[in-house]
Structure 1
Amino acid sequence: MTFGEKTTYARKQKKMTQGDLGKAVGTSGDIIGKYERDEIKPSIDTAAKVADALGVTLDYLVKDAEYQNIDQDALNRLKLIEKLPQEERSHLFATMDAFFAKNKLQALLK
């Protein structure tokens, strides 16, 4: 997908209009429309503002990143996890794995 297609998808997921996104970024809805149609490319600074406004990573918008919907809260928590001692990280990961397994089993039973 192109920058424009990813921007459109993420904006619609957030239930934002082009005008809403334009205001959040400091530009107009018309310019957002041109980005979404891939008529023009934003500067890296503007692309970063678009990513922030949409709650996605810049990497997702400009590259083939796998995780488009990692919000800032999740990113902040990942940074905090990295700072934990290894033993505490292991406990946290074991707890997370238990929740993932439970979710997977529930999905299989449906």
Structure 2
Amino acid sequence: MSFGKRLLEARKKKGISQEEMAAMLGTKGPAIGRYERDEMKPSIEAASKMAKILEVSLDWLVGNTDVELDTATLNRIQDINKLSPKDKELVYEFLDSFIANRKIKNVLQ
């Protein structure tokens, strides 16, 4: 998916108009439309601001990954990364167990 399509998808998901997005970026509404139609590419600074406004990762917005991580998830990952190795391992064990449990429940339903 192109940058423009991802921008449009994320903007609509957040319920932000092109004009509102433009105001937050300090530009005009037609510029957002050109980005969404892939007629123009934003600067890295503008794309980074867009990602923050839309609460998505810059990697997802520019197409470097198909994994759409919201800001809350990214913050949790960063918090886990700050833990001691022992505490990280406990978090991973819990997550692995929880995910395995959910997969089993989904198969049995």
Normalising by the smaller structure, the TM-score range is: 0.7 to 0.9
Equivalence for 1:63? 63
The within-5 A match list for 1:25-104 is 25-68=25-68, 70-104=69-103
Structure 1 residues without counterparts, runs of 5 or longer = none
The count of corresponding residues between Structure 1 and Structure 2 is 109
Equivalence for 1:21? 21
Partner amino acid, structure 2, of 1:17: S
- Partner secondary structure for residue 78 of structure 1: helix
Percent of paired sites with the same residue: 39
* TM-score with structure 1 setting the length: 0.85
Deviation at 1:15, TM superposition (A): 2.3
State the superposition RMSD in angstroms.
1.6
Distance 1:12 1:106 in 2: 33
CA gap of 1:109–1:12, structure 2 versus 1, over 3 A, is: farther
The superposition leaves residues 80-103 of structure 1 with CA deviations (integer Å, 9 ceiling, x where unpaired) of 212212111111111111221232
* TM-score with structure 2 setting the length: 0.86
Which structure 1 residue ranges, 4+ long, deviate > 4 Å from structure 2? none
Structure 2 residues without counterparts, runs of 5 or longer = none
